[in-house]
Amino acid sequence: MTALSSTQYAQVFPLNAAMNLTANLHPANTAKDVFENLSKPMKERFFDYQTWRNRIFERHSNLAHMLSTGYFLAEKFGNLADANARLKRADEALKLGNVKFGHINLSVSDDELCDIAEQKARYCELKIAKNGHNLHVFAQLEELAYSFNIDAPVLVSPYCSTLSATSLVGALNRFADPIWWRRKLRKIQAVTIEQLARDLRLVHKKASAYVSQPTIQNRRDRKRKSEQIMSDLFVVPNESNPFEEFETLQSIIERSHTSGKQQAAELMVRIRGFEELADMHGHRGEFYTLSAPSRFHSVHHTGIPNKKYNGSTPQEAQEYFNDIWKRARALFAKQDLRPYGFRVVEPHHDGCPHWHMLLFMEKGDASQVRNILRKLCTQDTPDEFKSKTTRFKAIAINKNKGSAAGYIAKYITKAVTGDCIDKITCSQAGEINVLPADAAERASTWASTFNIRRFQQIGGPSVSLWRELRRLGQGEQGKCEVANAMKTTLDTVSKYALEKVRQAADSSDWKAFCLAMGGVQVKRKDQTLRLHYQIPDIVDQITGEISRSETQSPYFATKYGDQPANRILGVAWDAVVVITRRGTSQILTETDIKAQRKIMIGVSEQIQGWHDDGRLFEPTKEEMQFLEACVLEDYQNMCLFMDYEALAGNIMSDEIANLDLCH
């Protein structure tokens, strides 16, 4: 049998690997150390540190190898006292809760964490069942949640500033939901373990770039389980034929704008559109890189711990950049500077974020924008600068050397898919020995763990509106939806602004879309179209009318019983609303679909039996001639009308077909 490597052994036996790694670490025996030990209290002088750290490793067996590696490095670059202090802080960080409500060990597996969530939800459910839905119970459960660093649900309804009965019921029902607890605990666990790995100096290019190995492994396991579940679920539109072929949830996710290749393609389309607009208006493009001060970096590019690091998290570093950008926008507004473009956030090798910005502006504004950003980026700890570009680096886009989109394209592909990249480099640490696809996965995991928005558009029209218009369908299908909403024909709809905006979105032309929306620098309130938000009501599939009745809308309340927030229903142009989210779907398993098919086969056989027995008759020729005589043709709108006055004496009906002006 082939012997396991040290890495494989640590994965299979993390506790044994941890004990073996730290077994030979003992206090130094120099005269100075002996004298310092004699000056300590008797309890500390003969304390068995090996047994103490082994108990910590056993308590957190899933993370034992990570803790022991950090302990070993702390002793190597410092001393045993520093290593013991770090291990003690790690043990305390992994213990969540207090004496009153108990503690949660954050080093447990995901399955164990789900069981803990079930227990907490059950406790809340019993508390509510015993005492009812009232503020006293809410205060008790709020204290429970706060003990585990979880914010309680907000009581105020989205549509009023005062407490309502439904909002109290909804908040309490959230406490009793295991999924609510599971999401909160998973988030806390991920952030705690990842920040702990950074504090132990285990996240850098020579160990594990961007994120720690336990975090990336946990993400892969959960993603694999999720893909398996999604592949077994099918999206079945209401009133569809069960004998049709249906898409799986996984296939829909893969082609959504959040999937890797689709996300990268959409970002490049928008960046290219901004560049074309800048060329048309004679604007100048500049590329900026913003870096954080030394206190946010846990290690140097060599992997040696940074003594200036103060334990800051990537979230705090992101807040530092957000504050700089907030102040910069205020100064831009005072001087009437209106840059537009994109911002990309990516991690350094040690997990500390830095910003890349591609901005377009009028040529005369470039120096002002550059000076404002440089001044704001260099105000913090200026004594750390090694060069003028340490905190802020500006590059003027040279069209002779390449397009503006090319400057930022590699950062997008590196962060999303890793395609067409030979090697991964870090501006702080140089080349990183990791495959491009793995680097993209690690960057995505890093952003998800710390809830960091990686891509943000600066200026320009709403991309959500762009996506909603693309939901209408391609070509004539989308055009027909707009024509029906405006109650006009296909021949005349093209002259309206609504159709021009839709056509630009349909053809993936961001430049034309920006121009049709009023320009790249137009304010949001002055844009041609706007998103139409509404309480998610049911849309009648026959008339196209929106039902505002609480009793008729299945979406008027959330699953927790309180009032839902507004959702996007469509796009609006003046008084015209184009509904982009019609109809509803069911999520069914393959077993459910097979059962529906069996039911339909039984119904079909029953109807065929009626036909064979003569109980199901077709209309006679005379009846068909009478019905055809009652039909009126409208050649201009290409549709048929029924003369109900002619039918009044023979047929009574409450149903009126919807008016489709396109067919």
Residue holding tokens 């040529």?
363
Other beta carbons within 10 Å of 302: 9
Residues 317, 324: Cα–Cα separation, whole Å: 11
**CA dihedral angle for residue 30, residue 31, residue 32, residue 33, rounded to 10 degrees:** 50
Residues 531, 480: Cα–Cα separation, whole Å: 19
**CA dihedral angle for residue 539, residue 541, residue 542, residue 546, rounded to 10 degrees:** 10
Question: Which residue is catalytic, options 9, 407, 496, 560?
Answer: 407
Q: In sequence order, what DSSP letters do the residues of 284-349 get, joined into one string? A: EEEEEEE---GGG-SB-TTSPBPTT-----HHHHHHHHHHHHHHHHHHHHHTT---EEEEEEEE-T
Residues 68, 64: Cα–Cα separation, whole Å: 6
Residues 351, 212: Cα–Cα separation, whole Å: 9
Task: Using alpha carbons, select from 315, 113, 118 the residue that is nearest to residue 221.
Answer: 113
Sign of the Cα torsion 307, 313, 318, 319 reads negative
Q: In sequence order, what DSSP letters do the residues of 421-475 get, joined into one string? A: -S-EEETTTEEE-S-HHHHHHHHHHHHHHHT---EEEESSS-HHHHHHHHTT-ST
| Kind plus residue range of the DSSP H or E element containing 130 | helix 110-131
Other beta carbons within 10 Å of 200: 26
Question: Which residue is catalytic, options 71, 210, 411, 560?
Answer: 411
Residues 48, 383: Cα–Cα separation, whole Å: 44
Task: List, in sequence order, every residue forming a beta bridge with 290; answer none if it has no partner.
Answer: 355, 392
Active site residue 635: no
Instruction: Using CB atoms within 10 Å of the CB of residue 326, give its burial: 0 to 12 exposed, 13 to 18 middle, 19+ buried.
Output: exposed
Rounded alpha-carbon distances, angstroms, from residue 470 to 111, 466, 496, 570, 571:
40, 6, 17, 11, 11
User: First-to-last CA distance in the chain?
Assistant: 73
DSSP secondary structure code for residue 385 in this structure = -
Task: List, in sequence order, every residue forming a beta bridge with 490; answer none if it has no partner.
Answer: none
What's the farthest any 2 CA atoms get from each other in the chain?
118
DSSP secondary structure code for residue 163 in this structure = B
Active site residue 309: no
Residues 487, 216: Cα–Cα separation, whole Å: 53
Instruction: Using CB atoms within 10 Å of the CB of residue 654, give its burial: 0 to 12 exposed, 13 to 18 middle, 19+ buried.
Output: exposed
- Residues comprising the chain, all counted: 663
Residue type, 315: Q
Active site residue ranges: 407, 411
